Structure 1
Amino acid sequence: MKNFNETVNDIKSIKIQGATNIAKAGLRAATFKTKSLDELSQAIHTLKNARPTEPLLQNSLNILYEKVKDAKKLKSAVSSESKKIVKQIEEAHGKTVRNASKLIKKNFVIFTHCHSSTVTGAILASKSKGIEVINTETRPRYQGRLTAKELSGAGIPTTMIVDSAMADFLPNADIILVGTDAISEEFFVNKVGTFGLSLFAKMYNIPLYVLTNSMKFAEEIEIEYRNSKEIWSKAPKNLSIINPAFDVTPLELVKGIVSEHGVHTPKQFVKMAKKEYGYLFKF
């Protein structure tokens, strides 16, 4: 297991990818900082700030703090509760994968953007249905290559395209499946380019489903902007480069939200998530 600082750096640098993996890594890292409640609190603050647009990480750490703040034996309590939350995340992931795979019909062409372990899980679970996949390379960090490698390596016919070719290839798809880093009452947050994808989906009347752990629900979400050197390491002087990691897509463009609880309309999901995790928003 990596130490605390290594984990924080790996989260910041996107060596650890995907909301589920980031949350699990953050929970394990917190177990290194248990000398006092203050030390744990500071560690949680550092981890949460490593990737601001990750409510699954933030909410899971908030849950951990709530569970252990009155514990007499802090170290053992943090170890025990973090394992329970990791298990909860893993179980939710499995249920969401199963629920999403039911949407994938025989011979479907699936379009996806970026990398989501939940999306790839649902696709892999549907391999026997004779499916095909179109995925984006997802610049500038090329997370789509991970998606393409996983799916093609499993023998699923996969075509990777440049991001700017979305509109040209989307009409070939039967369904769009994307993950999300965060979801609120009015929108969801995913890799930049998702909003444009959702507009094309509406134009071509192709259903877009968002796959998520309900613990990713949040009332306030900060959009992360990354270093411009990811776009152009030796850019000309006097050139301004903006590098948003995510964009915001209105829920009105979403056909359904798939979680551990099933497939719901956005309004149904929001009502359910607020009831389940509303107590966290005081942090």
Structure 2
Amino acid sequence: MSFEEKIKQIAGDRQHGSSVLVDHICQELAALEQDSDYEKRLKWAFRELRKIDDSMAVVHHLLDSLEPCIGPDFPDELKAYESRWNNIHRDIARRLLEKQDFTGQTVLMHSHSGMLIGIAAEVSAKVEGLNVWQTRSEPGGEGESQYQELRSRGINAQLIEDDRLPDIVSRLDAAWLGVDQFSDEFFVNKVGSRRIVELMQSVEKPVFVLGDSRKKVSELDFSEEIFEKVPFGGNVHLVTEG
């Protein structure tokens, strides 16, 4: 598959969260380094990647940070960006564990997020008996892919159909949700997140919204076909790296 085909595939990806897309973008941009038409193809790639939904705040943070650097120093700037942000899930996991001891507990996860998977792996390595119940996450069903990735990392995970949530919510200790962007009052995540928050509120259980500071925006901008905004407050707690 050519560089252009891979970039178009990333731009059209509706299955993965923003953190995974950023990883894929960085990988493809780095692989182009020795190309004779390097700068020309980079400029084309950035134009194509701008088609990704504005709700993917981390993707657009990467594009905004690196597009002005297109030129001879681009490879070094790309490496510096990756070094700054690559392992941020470890800091978020550490701060999450300061909020609650998840030893022997069962948490709910929704949709598909590379950040959530990384955090779950970190937490699972530090506490015993963590159980994850993963929604199938309709429409789209991308939760099944996240379930498989959790299992591949040795995490005890179970796939749950979305319509079963009212029956099992009382058996949960917390929910972990990803976030594509957030403001002071709301966060944006995959459709179904608001229902999860409401169900967790009904049993007085916490919801932890896990994401890095790149996702904070002054004004929310997202597609209501795929995403929805949910208010912070009450049992809903934002956990970032800082």
Unaligned runs of 5+ in 1: 69-73, 226-243, 262-283
Matches for 1:39-58 after TM superposition, within 5 Å: 43-58=45-60
1:215 aligns with 2:209: no
Cα pair distance change 1:120/1:21, threshold 3 Å: closer
1:202-255 CA distance string (max 9 Å, x none): 111111111101111122333236xxxxxxxxxxxxxxxxxx211111122553
TM-score with structure 1 length normalisation? 0.73
In 2, the alpha carbon distance for the partners of 1:94 and 1:248 equals 26
User: 1:85 matched to which residue of 2?
Assistant: 81
> How many angstroms apart in 2 are the aligned matches of 1:41 and 1:220?
27
Counterpart code for 2:22: A
Contact 2:66 2:78 in 1 (8 A): yes
- State how far apart, in whole Å, the 2-side matches of 1:2 and 1:14 are: 20
Structure (1 or 2) with the larger CA radius of gyration: 1
Q: CA deviation at 1:175?
A: 1.1
Give the corresponding residue for 2:103: 106
Q: TM-score, normalised by structure 2?
A: 0.84
Where do 5+ consecutive residues of structure 2 fail to align? Answer: none
In the TM superposition, residue 129 of structure 1 has moved relative to its aligned partner by 1.4
**Aligned counterparts of 1:11 and 1:254: Cα–Cα separation in 2:** 35
| Count of aligned pairs between the two proteins | 234
- Percent of aligned positions with the same letter in both sequences? 21
Matched, 1:168 2:167: yes
**Which residue pairs with 2:238 in the alignment?**
257
Indicate conservation of the 8 Å contact 2:103/2:130, yes or no: yes
Counterpart residue identity of residue 168, structure 2 = F
1:1-283 equivalence runs, <5 A:
3-14=3-14, 17-29=16-28, 35=39, 43-66=45-68, 68=69, 74-102=70-98, 103-127=100-124, 128-224=127-223, 244-253=225-234, 255-261=236-242
Separation of aligned partners in 2, 1:253 and 1:58: 30
C-alpha separation in 2, matches of 1:100 and 1:219: 25
State the Cα distance separating 1:7 from its structure 2 match: 1.9
Question: 2:14 & 2:94 partners in 1: Cα distance?
Answer: 27
2:3–2:28 Cα contact (<8 Å) kept: yes
Check whether the contact 1:19–1:56 (CA below 8 A) recurs between aligned residues.
yes
Deviations 1:45-81 (A, max 9, x none): 4312223320101012111234x2xxxxx43322211
